[in-house]
Structure 1
Amino acid sequence: MLKKLGRMPIVLTLPGLAILLVIFGIPAVQMFLSSLKAPAFSLANYQAFLGQSANVRVLFQTVEISAVATIICLVLGYPTAYLIVAASKRMRMALLVLVIIPYLTSFLARTYAWIVILGDNGLINNGLLHFGLISSPLELIFNRMAVYIGMVHIMLPMMILPLVSVMIGIDKSLSSAARSMGARPFTAFWRVFFPLSLPGVRSGSLLVFVICLGFYITPAALGGLGDAMLSTFIAAQVQTSFDVASIATSSFLLLAIAVVVLSIVGLDLSGSQSRAGRQPRKPRLSRLPSFASLKGHLSELSIPYRAKRWTAHLYEARGSSRWSEIAGPAFAVLVLAFLLFPEVVVIIMSFSSGAFLEFPPSSLSLQWYRSFVGDPAWYGAARTSIQIGIAVAILSTILGTLAAYGLSRAGPQLRRILTMVILTPITIPVIVVGVATYLGLINIGLIGCLTGMILAHSIGAMGYVVVIVSATLANFDRRLAQAAQSMRAGPLQTFRRITLPLIRPGIIGGAVFAFLHSFDEVVITSLVSGFSIYTLPLKMWENIRNEADPTVAAVASLLTLLPVIWLIALYLTWWRSRSQAHPAISEAAA
C-alpha cells in the first residue's frame, strides 16, 4: 500500500480536497448558479443590484476603503521592512518577533483596543480633557478615519512580512556596485533595490487588498453608518431575509473584484515565473523614437559632468548619514509602537479596580479576571472555542500535512493548480467563504453543531498548514531519506525517523496557526453557529457591540499574551528539532 502511494503521491491530497469540495466548492457553484437564475441563466439579479444607487455606493465604498488601507499599509510597511532587513541578524529577529506578535493576536482584541483608545471616554479624549486642551470629547470613533486606523493596524504585519521575505534575499552587493559607479544612495535604491523588491510589494498589496474587501468586524465596530462595506451588507441579508439569490449576487460581485485584482496583479506571487521567458516591458515613453534619441543625446552630454562629480565626491565624507541614522530607527520605533501600544493599553486597563475602564488605573485589581473565571457564559464560551480549536488543529494538520507531502512530489503544473484550490478559502473575501460554507453545512444537515463548526473552520485552517508544511518540505533534502532506504530502512521507518523529525517544526507551526485561525474566527462562526454554539470570539463581539461588560478587557489581555506563549513553544520545538537532526540518520541506519 505504501509503495502504491509512493508512486501516486497526489492521492494524499484527496481527503482534504473532498472536504473542501463538499463544504465549500459545491455550495459556491450552487450560489453562482442561483445568482444567474439557473437554469434560465439571466443577469437580472446583477442588473437589479447595480440598478440601486445605494448598492453601487456601498460597492465603490468597499473598493475605496480597501484601496486606501492597502496604500497606507504599503507606505508604512515598505520602509519598516527595509529597516528590519538592514538591521543586524539578532536585531532583525527581535524586530520580526515584535511584528509577528500583533499578527498572531486576535483581531477582535485589537479592534477592541482601538475602541478603548478612540472612544468618547477613551485614552485620547480623557487625556486631552485632563490637560484642559479640549472642553468636550472629540469625535475620534465611528467615522472613516477610525476604520482606516483599525484596518491598517490589523493588516500592516501582513504587508511587512512578505516584503521582508523578499528583501532579505536581495544581494546587497548590487546596490554597493551601483554606489561604486557614482550612483547616489537614493538612485541606487530606486534603480537597483526597489525593482528587485517589487514581488514583495505585489504579494503584500494583493493579500492586504483582497482580505480588506471581506472586512466585516472592524468597520462595523469602528465606523459609522456611512462607512459600511459590502460584507456588512451581505451579513445583514443573511441574518434577516436570507434570499439566496440576492446574497449570492452580492457575494460574487465582491468575489469578482478580488478576481479582477488577482488577474491584473498576477496569480504568481513569487514574481519569478511570470517574468520568465519574456523580455521586460519598456515604459511607454521610452518606446517613442524621438524621446529615446533625445534621452541618449542628453546622457552623452552629461558624461563629463558626471565623471567629474564622481571623482570629486569619491572620498567625500557623507554628511547626511547622521540624519538618516536617526530618522530610520525613529520611524521603525513609531511603527512598532503603533502595532504594540493598543495591546499594552488594554492589558494595563484590564487591571483597573473601578466600575469602568480607565487609563491609567487609579488602583489595581483582578476583578475583571475574576469576572471572566466566575461567569459561566464567559468560561463556557472559552471552553467551547478551545475544544473546537483543538479538533480543528488535529484534523487540518493531518489533512494539510498529507496534502503538502503529496503536492511536494507532484508535477509543477498540477501542484500549482491544486495549491491554488486548497488556498482558495484564505485568499478570497471571508464573507463569501462564510455564506458558501453555511449553504454547504445546510446540505449535509450540520448547521448549529460542533461537527459542522469544526469542518467550517478546517477548510481555512488546512490552507495555513499546507503553506507552512510545504515551506518546510521545500528545504528537506530527499537524499537523507534515500540514504536511509539504501541502509534497508523501510518506508514507514524512514518517514518516522528521518522525514518526520526534520519537518516536525513545520507540522507543529501549522497546527499552531490552525488553532489560532479557529480560535479567532468570528465571521464564519456567526453564520454557521445557528445561535446554538457560543464561542469566545462571538461572546466578545456581542460585548463589544453592546459595550456592557468590561470583562472583555481581561479576555483581550489574555488573547494578547497567547501568541507570546505560542512563539516560545515554537522556538523551543525548533531548537529541539535542530539538536535532533544530526543523529537522525545514524538512528535510522541502526
Structure 2
Amino acid sequence: MLIIRRLTQQPIVLALPALLILAAVFGAPIVQLFFKSFNLPSFSLVNYQAFFFQPANVRVLYQTVEMSLTATGICLLLGYPTAYLISTARTSVRVVLIVLVVIPYLTSSLARTYAWIVILGDHGLINNFLIDNGFISDPLPLIYNRFAVYLGMVYIMLPVMILPMVSVMVGIDRSLMAAAQSMGASSFTSFWRVFFPLSLPGVRSGCLLVFVLCLGFYITPAALGGLRDTMLSNFIYAEVSTSFNIPRVAASAFILLAVAFAMLWIVGLDLSGSHGLPGQSPKDERGRAAALIGRLLRSLSEYLISHRSKRWKSRRFRPERSGRMPEVAGAMFLASMISFLVIPGIIIVVMSFSDANYFQFPPAALSLRWYYQFFGDPSWDGALLASFQIGVAVTAIATVAGTLAAYGLARAHSTVRAAITMFMLMPITLPAIVVGIATYLGLLNFGLLGSKLGIILAHSIGGVAYAMVIVSATLANFDRRLERAAMSMMAGPFRTFRRISLPLILPGVLGGAVFAFIHSFDEVVITSLVSGLSIRTLPLKMWENIRHQIDPTVAAASSLLIVLAMIWLVAIYAAWWRTTSRTQRIAAEAQN
C-alpha cells in the first residue's frame, strides 16, 4: 500500500490517461504492425523484398522523398526571408502579419487544396481570365501535374515553415548585428555571421516539420497531381482499399516511417550545435574531408587577413549608406507572400456567394444560394453534425488528458519527460497514413471500426498531442512560486490548481482545445480508414464532392471552415488578454 501511495503522489501519474489512450489505440497496434511486416513469429523479409523488387514501388518511394525535399526547399527559400521581414517589423505590424499567416494555417487543408483546384482548373480562375481576355484559346494545363502539386504543398506548408522561424528570430538580440556593423561589418556580413547562425534552430525545426509532414501527404497529390505524381501515401492507401494485405501494407508503411525517422535522426541528432567542436578528431571519411576543407578555408582567410584589416580600419567609423530600395523590395516580397497565403481563401469566400451554377470570379450576382444548398441538403447537414459531435468529444478528451499530461510532465525528471513526450508526439509527427493504419488495427482489436467512438479515439491521440504541446509551452513560463505560496496558506493541491494554476495557463488550455478541435474537424486520411461506410464527416463529404462532383457547395463549406478558424483565433486572443490582465492585477496586488 505504501508503494501504491507513493506512486500516486508522483507527478507522472497525471500523464497516465493520455498514455493509456495512446498505447491502446496507437502504441500497441504499431508494434503489432511491425511484427506483421516481418511475418512473425516466423521471421521473414519477404514483404520488404516484394516492395523493393518492384521498380514501380522504388520509383514511388524515390518520388516521395524527392517531392518532399523539393517542397521543403521551396518553403525554406520563401519562408526564411518572410520570417525575417516579419520579425523586423514594428510590434503592431508584426502581430497583424502573424495573424495573416496563422489564419491559413488554422484553415482546413482540404479547403486550401480546393482553393487551388478552383484557381488552376481548366475552367478555373486563371484559365477563364486568360480565355475571356483573348490571351489563349484553349485552357492551359495548370492542374494534374507536378507543378500543381508543388504549389499546393508549398501553400499548405509555408505557415509551418514560417512560424517556428519567426518565434526564434524575434528572440534574437538585434544589438549584436549593430555591434558587428560598428566594427566595420557590412549589413550582409553582420547578417550572415551573426543573425543567420542564431536563427538555425528555427530553420531546423521548420525544415524537419515540413519534410516529415510532406512525406505523409495524401490529399494534395490526389487532388492536384496526375498518375505520375503519386506519393507513397497514395500508394499505401490504394493498397489498403483494394487488397488490404496487412503484412504488405505494414512493410510499405514502415519503409515510409524509416524515411521519416532517418530525417528525425539526421536533423535532431544534435540541435545544440555542439558537435564539431575544436579538439574533436573526425572518425570517418566525411569528418576528415570536413577538417581538410576547414584547414583550406582558414589558410585562405589568413592569406586575405591583411586586406580585411585595412578594409575594417577604413570603414569601422563610416556609417553604411543604404537607400530605400532594400526596404521597398522587402515590403514587396512580404506583401506577395502574405497575398499568396491569404488570397486563395478570399477567392473561395467570394465565390461561395455566387449565383451561378459554375465557378465564376468575380460573381455576376451575389446570392446565398449555395449556403441554402449546404444547410438544406441532409447529406451535408449530417456530415456537419457528425463532425461537430466528434470534434467536441475529441476536444473534451484531448483537453483534459493533454493538460494533465503537460502538468505532470512539467514536474517529472527530464529523462522521463523527454521519453514520454517523444512517444506522445508520434501521432502528429509521423506520416498520417502510418498512424491511420496502426489506428485501424487498434480499433479492429476492440471492434470499434465504423463507429463514432472509434473515430473519436482515433482523433484523440493527435488531439492529446496538440493539447500537451501547447499547454507545456505555457507552463514553461509559469512561476511555480505562486503555487507554493498558495499551499503555504493551507490550500490543497486541487484548490491551488483550480484557483491559481488553471487561470494562469488558461490561454494554453484553450489553445490546445482549439488545435484538438481543428485536428479532428480537418482529419481525412485516418477517418477514411476507420469510419467504414456508415459515418461521413464533413471533410470526407467534401473530399467525395471534390473528387466526383465539384460545385460551389464545397466553396460554401470551405468558407465556413475559414470563418471557424477566425473565430477560434479571436477566442484564443480573448483568453490571452483576459489572463494577461489577471496576471498584471495579481502582480499589482502583490506589490501593494
Residue 454 of structure 2 corresponds to which residue in structure 1?
Answer: 452
| One-letter amino acid of the counterpart of residue 82, structure 1 | Y
Counterpart selection for 2:310 from 295, 299, 305: 305
Residue 274 of structure 2 corresponds to which residue in structure 1?
Answer: 275
- The Cα of 1:295 is off from its aligned counterpart by 2.4
Q: What is the 5 A alignment of 1:476-487?
A: 476-487=478-489
Q: Secondary structure at the match of 2:512?
A: helix
C-alpha distance after superposition, 1:139-192 (max 9, x if no partner)? 000000000000000000000000011111111111111111111111111111
- The Cα of 1:251 is off from its aligned counterpart by 0.3
Q: TM-score, normalised by structure 1?
A: 0.95
Do the aligned partners of 2:185 and 2:312 also contact (CA within 8 Å) in 1? no
Counterpart selection for 2:468 from 466, 469, 476: 466
Deviates more, 1:7-16 or 1:405-414: 7-16
| One-letter amino acid of the counterpart of residue 546, structure 2 | I
Counterpart selection for 1:425 from 424, 427, 431: 427
- The Cα of 1:316 is off from its aligned counterpart by 4.8
C-alpha distance after superposition, 1:52-96 (max 9, x if no partner)? 110011000000110100000000000000000000111111100
Q: Sequence identity, in percent?
A: 60
Residue 315 of structure 1 corresponds to which residue in structure 2?
Answer: 318
The separation in 1 between residues aligned to 2:277 and 2:344, in whole angstroms, is: 47
- The Cα of 1:287 is off from its aligned counterpart by 4.2
- The Cα of 1:5 is off from its aligned counterpart by 7.0
The separation in 1 between residues aligned to 2:109 and 2:147, in whole angstroms, is: 18
- Pair 1:276–1:295, CA change in 2 (3 A): closer
Do the aligned partners of 1:497 and 1:587 also contact (CA within 8 Å) in 2? no
Q: What is the 5 A alignment of 1:295-444?
A: 295-310=300-315, 314-316=317-319, 318=321, 320-444=322-446
The separation in 2 between residues aligned to 1:191 and 1:350, in whole angstroms, is: 49
Q: Secondary structure at the match of 2:412?
A: coil
- The Cα of 1:304 is off from its aligned counterpart by 4.8
The separation in 2 between residues aligned to 1:27 and 1:303, in whole angstroms, is: 62
* Root-mean-square deviation over aligned CA pairs: 2.2
The separation in 1 between residues aligned to 2:313 and 2:496, in whole angstroms, is: 66
| One-letter amino acid of the counterpart of residue 294, structure 1 | S
- The Cα of 1:574 is off from its aligned counterpart by 1.3
Q: What is the 5 A alignment of 1:2-151?
A: 7-151=9-153
- Pair 1:289–1:431, CA change in 2 (3 A): closer
Do the aligned partners of 2:83 and 2:165 also contact (CA within 8 Å) in 1? yes
- The Cα of 1:300 is off from its aligned counterpart by 3.3
Q: Secondary structure at the match of 1:364?
A: coil
Deviates more, 1:118-127 or 1:484-493: 484-493
Q: Secondary structure at the match of 2:582?
A: helix
Q: Secondary structure at the match of 2:331?
A: helix
| One-letter amino acid of the counterpart of residue 205, structure 1 | C
Residue 192 of structure 1 corresponds to which residue in structure 2?
Answer: 194
- The Cα of 1:551 is off from its aligned counterpart by 0.6
- Pair 1:505–1:466, CA change in 2 (3 A): same
- The Cα of 1:12 is off from its aligned counterpart by 1.0
Do the aligned partners of 2:86 and 2:98 also contact (CA within 8 Å) in 1? yes
Do the aligned partners of 1:65 and 1:148 also contact (CA within 8 Å) in 2? yes
Residue 246 of structure 1 corresponds to which residue in structure 2?
Answer: 248
- Pair 1:234–1:96, CA change in 2 (3 A): same
The separation in 2 between residues aligned to 1:332 and 1:544, in whole angstroms, is: 32
Do the aligned partners of 1:216 and 1:523 also contact (CA within 8 Å) in 2? yes
- The Cα of 1:259 is off from its aligned counterpart by 0.6
- The Cα of 1:548 is off from its aligned counterpart by 4.0
- The 4+ residue runs of structure 1 with deviation greater than 3 A are 1-7, 276-290, 314-317, 582-588
Counterpart selection for 1:234 from 220, 233, 236: 236
Deviates more, 1:82-91 or 1:576-585: 576-585
| One-letter amino acid of the counterpart of residue 318, structure 2 | Y
| One-letter amino acid of the counterpart of residue 275, structure 1 | S
Do the aligned partners of 1:285 and 1:291 also contact (CA within 8 Å) in 2? no
The separation in 2 between residues aligned to 1:366 and 1:536, in whole angstroms, is: 20
- Pair 1:292–1:111, CA change in 2 (3 A): closer
- Pair 1:544–1:279, CA change in 2 (3 A): farther
- Pair 1:303–1:506, CA change in 2 (3 A): closer
How many residues end up aligned between the 2 structures? Answer: 582
Do the aligned partners of 1:498 and 1:585 also contact (CA within 8 Å) in 2? no
- The Cα of 1:99 is off from its aligned counterpart by 0.3
Q: TM-score, normalised by structure 2?
A: 0.95
- Pair 1:315–1:552, CA change in 2 (3 A): same
The separation in 1 between residues aligned to 2:448 and 2:279, in whole angstroms, is: 52
Deviates more, 1:481-490 or 1:224-233: 481-490
Residue 291 of structure 1 corresponds to which residue in structure 2?
Answer: 296
Gaps of 5+ in 1: none
Do the aligned partners of 1:110 and 1:343 also contact (CA within 8 Å) in 2? yes
The separation in 2 between residues aligned to 1:156 and 1:305, in whole angstroms, is: 43
Q: Secondary structure at the match of 2:58?
A: helix
The separation in 1 between residues aligned to 2:294 and 2:543, in whole angstroms, is: 61
Residue 490 of structure 2 corresponds to which residue in structure 1?
Answer: 488
C-alpha distance after superposition, 1:383-424 (max 9, x if no partner)? 100000000000011110111011000011110110000000
The separation in 2 between residues aligned to 1:438 and 1:29, in whole angstroms, is: 13
Residue 201 of structure 1 corresponds to which residue in structure 2?
Answer: 203
Do the aligned partners of 1:210 and 1:427 also contact (CA within 8 Å) in 2? yes
- The Cα of 1:275 is off from its aligned counterpart by 2.6
Q: Secondary structure at the match of 1:377?
A: helix
Do the aligned partners of 2:357 and 2:551 also contact (CA within 8 Å) in 1? no
- The Cα of 1:581 is off from its aligned counterpart by 2.7
C-alpha distance after superposition, 1:492-528 (max 9, x if no partner)? 2211111111011111110111001000001100000
Counterpart selection for 1:565 from 542, 564, 567: 567
C-alpha distance after superposition, 1:324-368 (max 9, x if no partner)? 110001100000100011111111111111111211111111100
Deviates more, 1:519-528 or 1:174-183: 174-183
The separation in 2 between residues aligned to 1:289 and 1:236, in whole angstroms, is: 49
The separation in 1 between residues aligned to 2:296 and 2:516, in whole angstroms, is: 55
| One-letter amino acid of the counterpart of residue 117, structure 1 | I
